[in-house]
Structure 1
Amino acid sequence: MKPFFVLIKCQLGRSYDVATSIADAEIASEVYSTAGDYDLIAKFYVEDEADIGHFVNEKVQRIAGIQDTKTIITFKAF
C-alpha cells in the first residue's frame, strides 16, 4: 500500500461538511482540521499499482465543498 496526503481547501463554511463526507465515504485513514492556507489534511492509502492522481480526481476532488487540493506523495516512513 502507498500512503499519501492531500491538503484540502474548502469553500467558506464547508470544512465540517467536507470532513464528514470524507469520513462517511471511508476513503481516508485519517482526516484533520488545519490552520493556514488549507482547511483539512487527509491521509490516504492506495494499492501499490494504483494511480494516485486518478484516485484524487475521482474520489476526493468530486466531494462537494472542496475548492482546491494539494497532493503530497510520500516515499518512506521512519
Structure 2
Amino acid sequence: MQCVFVQIQCKPGTVYDVATEIALKEIHSELYSTSGHYDLMLKVYIPDGEDVGRFLNEGLFGIAGIERTLTTMTFNAF
C-alpha cells in the first residue's frame, strides 16, 4: 500500500460539510482539521496496483466545497 497525505483547502463555510463527505466515503485512514493555509489533512493508503491520481480523483476530488489540494506521496526512507 502507498501512504499519501492530502491537505485540503475548503471554500469558506464548507469545512464541516467536506469533512463529513470524506468520512462517509470511508477511503481514509485518518482525517484532521488543521490550521494554516489548508483546513483538513487526510491520510490515505492507496491499494497496491491502483493509480494514485485516479484513486484520489475518483474518490475525493469531486466533493463539493474543495477549493485546492496538496498531495504528498511518501516513500520508504531506507
**What SS class does the counterpart of residue 54 from structure 1 fall into?**
helix
Q: Which residue of 2 aligns with 1:3?
A: 3
- Structure 1 stretches of 5 or more lacking a match? none
1:1-78 pair list within 5 angstroms: 1-76=1-76
SS in 2 for 1:48: coil
Runs of 4+ in 1 over 4 A off after TM superposition: none
Q: Between the two proteins, what is the percent identity of the paired residues?
A: 54
The count of aligned residue pairs is: 78
In 2: Cα distance, 1:47 partner to 1:77 partner: 20
Superposition TM-score, scaled by structure 1 size: 0.92
Q: Which runs of 5+ in 2 are unaligned?
A: none
SS at match of 1:28: coil
RMSD over equivalenced CA pairs, Å: 1.4
